[in-house]
């Protein structure tokens, strides 16, 4: 009778949870802290003598293996024995990793059927002739991360692990190693971005319904999760005037950010490598804008969802009546020239009453703190038309 392992059972139970996982995701990392740590990514099939394995790695020393499916001396093994080693069956490339220590470093190892190539941070670091390539006799064996099938763990941090059944070109590696990859990219068979932040497994973004990677050891003791870069959230404006505004957002401390300002589908301004979660735009035309923000660490996130900012002529109304003026000041609307006792009402564009007061003075300041962004209408008792304003 065929036995189903506990890893497989858990994978079957959880597969449906990842089937709808969005391609936009935060960038996470896993830290393998003790000799008991590691991940079992279960049976892995490459199916070709060509392969590419790439990942971001943070090491403090240079011992142990961090990725391998090797069994009976067949397959691949990546790790350290003083120097970094990329091994296919009995063939190996050795690279001095001294500059990698205490730095996040991207490593890509390629077998194209003619040679083995190691790239470090997008640049070729070593090559060796090898006409055999990846040995498909190793297919079907489990893939281990943070350790090897026989042990010899590597205490390190890992981010954005990718395994391919194709030999990625130098251009493809260089152009994409600092970006998140589209999970449907041809040849991608494993992509772990470790963005879960908790629990005992990480999803394979390239095949959400397939095998996940399962942690060994105890969380926080043997391994832990980290957030490298979060897609910016909670975009909001401050100090908005007729032709300027500040945009703020929430994100991961220590990141930098890029901001893109668009109007009518065209990018009109960008801010890059900002160190604060804030950008200022001024001298703008009175029109509708959208803002998107992305975060940068050693990798960059996708852009946030677009946030709308309205600087059209309705965003500040003056001299709307011979006796009345309405002006917006940051988080308040000031109405001058109103008769005391008159009722002032603010409605949403769907006709829902948001605020209503009776004027006690000729000048009224209405707080709009906490009002959602959108179009509103101001009705003043006894003054004919309803006045439109964008917040």
How far, in Å, are 244, 285, 294 from residue 272 at the CA level?
A: 18, 22, 10
Q: What is the pLDDT of residue 330?
A: 62
Question: Mean per-residue pLDDT for 275-295?
Answer: 94
Choose among 148, 145, 144, 186: nearest CA to 165: 186
pLDDT-derived band at 362, boundaries 50, 70, 90: confident
Q: 115-156, pLDDT tens digit by residue?
A: 999 999 999 999 999 999 999 999 999 999 999 999 999 999
pLDDT tops 70 at residue 290: yes
Q: What is the pLDDT of residue 316?
A: 42
Q: 161-179, pLDDT tens digit by residue?
A: 999 999 999 999 999 999 9
- Rounded to whole angstroms, the Cα distance separating 226 from 28 reads 6
DSSP assigned state of 53: E
Average pLDDT across the chain, whole number: 87
Distance of CA 5 to the CA centre of its chain: 33
pLDDT tops 90 at residue 270: yes
pLDDT-derived band at 252, boundaries 50, 70, 90: very high
With contact defined as beta carbons under 8 Å apart, do 243 and 286 qualify?
yes
Between 90-94, 199-203, 330-334, the lowest mean confidence (pLDDT) is in 330-334
DSSP assigned state of 173: H
- Count CA atoms closer than 13 A to 238's CA, side-chain side: 9
Residue % of the chain over a pLDDT of 70: 90
Residue % of the chain over a pLDDT of 90: 66
With contact defined as beta carbons under 8 Å apart, do 23 and 130 qualify?
no
With contact defined as beta carbons under 8 Å apart, do 69 and 149 qualify?
yes
Q: Identify which has the larger pLDDT, 174 or 312.
A: 174
pLDDT-derived band at 53, boundaries 50, 70, 90: very high
Q: What is the pLDDT of residue 21?
A: 40
Question: Mean per-residue pLDDT for 50-61?
Answer: 96
- Rounded to whole angstroms, the Cα distance separating 30 from 344 reads 56
Q: What is the pLDDT of residue 322?
A: 53
Q: What is the pLDDT of residue 311?
A: 84
Record the pTM.
0.74
Between 175-184, 288-297, 335-344, the lowest mean confidence (pLDDT) is in 335-344
pLDDT tops 90 at residue 77: yes
pLDDT-derived band at 78, boundaries 50, 70, 90: very high
pLDDT tops 80 at residue 195: yes
Helix (H, G, I), strand (E, B) or coil at 272: strand
Sign of the Cα torsion 220, 224, 229, 230 reads negative
Q: What is the pLDDT of residue 41?
A: 95
With contact defined as beta carbons under 8 Å apart, do 180 and 27 qualify?
yes
Q: What is the pLDDT of residue 132?
A: 93
Q: Identify which has the larger pLDDT, 352 or 182.
A: 182
With contact defined as beta carbons under 8 Å apart, do 74 and 122 qualify?
no
Distance of CA 270 to the CA centre of its chain: 19
Q: Which two tokens mark 264?
A: 């009518």
Q: Which residue has the tokens 């309405």?
A: 326
pLDDT tops 90 at residue 58: yes
Burial of 255: CB neighbours in 10 Å, binned 0-12, 13-18, 19+: buried
pLDDT tops 80 at residue 49: yes
Between 122-131, 293-302, 316-325, 342-351, the lowest mean confidence (pLDDT) is in 316-325
pLDDT tops 60 at residue 3: no
- Rounded to whole angstroms, the Cα distance separating 108 from 199 reads 28
Q: What is the pLDDT of residue 329?
A: 67
Q: How much of the chain is in helix, strand and coil states, percent to nearest 5? A: 5, 50, 45
Q: What is the pLDDT of residue 286?
A: 86
Q: What is the pLDDT of residue 344?
A: 87
Q: What is the pLDDT of residue 317?
A: 44
Q: Of all helices (H) and strands (E), which one includes residue 14?
A: helix 6-18
Between 210-224, 243-257, 278-292, 368-382, the lowest mean confidence (pLDDT) is in 368-382
Q: What is the pLDDT of residue 16?
A: 36
- Rounded to whole angstroms, the Cα distance separating 170 from 124 reads 8
Helix (H) and strand (E) counts for the chain? Answer: 2, 30
- Rounded to whole angstroms, the Cα distance separating 322 from 319 reads 6
pLDDT tops 50 at residue 22: no
């Amino acid at each position: 009778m065929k036995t189903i392992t506990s890893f497989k059972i858990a994978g079957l139970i959880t597969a449906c949870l990842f089937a709808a996982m969005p391609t936009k995701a935060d960038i996470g990392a896993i830290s393998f802290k003790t000799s008991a740590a590691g991940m079992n990514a279960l049976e892995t099939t490459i199916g070709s003598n060509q392969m590419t394995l790439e990942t971001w790695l943070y090491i403090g020393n240079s011992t142990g293996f961090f990725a391998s499916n090797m069994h009976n001396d067949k397959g691949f093994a990546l790790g350290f024995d003083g120097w970094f080693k990329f091994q296919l069956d009995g063939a190996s490339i050795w690279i001095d990793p001294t500059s990698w220590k205490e730095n996040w470093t991207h490593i890509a190892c390629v077998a194209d059927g003619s040679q083995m190539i190691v790239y470090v941070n997008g640049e070729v670091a070593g090559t060796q002739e090898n006409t055999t390539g990846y040995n498909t006799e190793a297919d079907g064996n489990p893939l281990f991360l943070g350790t090897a099938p026989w042990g010899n763990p590597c205490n390190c941090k890992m981010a954005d692990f990718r395994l391919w059944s194709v030999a990625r070109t130098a251009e493809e590696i260089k152009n994409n190693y600092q970006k998140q990859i589209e999970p449907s990219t041809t040849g991608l068979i494993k992509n772990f971005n470790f963005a879960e932040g908790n629990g005992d497994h990480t999803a394979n973004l390239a095949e959400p319904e397939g095998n996940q990677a399962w942690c060994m050891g105890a969380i926080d003791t043997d391994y832990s999760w980290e957030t490298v870069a979060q897609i910016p959230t909670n975009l909001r404006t401050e100090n908005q005037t007729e032709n300027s505004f500040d945009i703020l957002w929430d994100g991961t401390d220590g990141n930098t950010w890029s901001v893109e300002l668009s109007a009518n589908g065209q990018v009109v301004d960008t801010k890059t490598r900002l160190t604060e979660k804030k950008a200022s735009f001024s001298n703008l035309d009175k029109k509708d804008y959208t803002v998107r923000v992305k975060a940068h660490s050693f990798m960059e996130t996708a852009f946030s969802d677009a946030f709308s900012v309205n600087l059209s002529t309705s965003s500040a109304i003056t001299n709307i009546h011979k006796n009345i003026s309405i002006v917006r000041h940051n988080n308040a609307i000031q109405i001058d020239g109103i008769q005391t006792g008159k009722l002032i009402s603010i409605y949403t564009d769907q006709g829902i009453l948001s605020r209503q007061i009776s004027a006690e003075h000729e000048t009224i300041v209405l707080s709009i703190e906490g009002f959602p962004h959108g179009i509103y209408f101001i009705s003043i008792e006894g003054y004919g038309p309803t006045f439109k304003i964008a917040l």
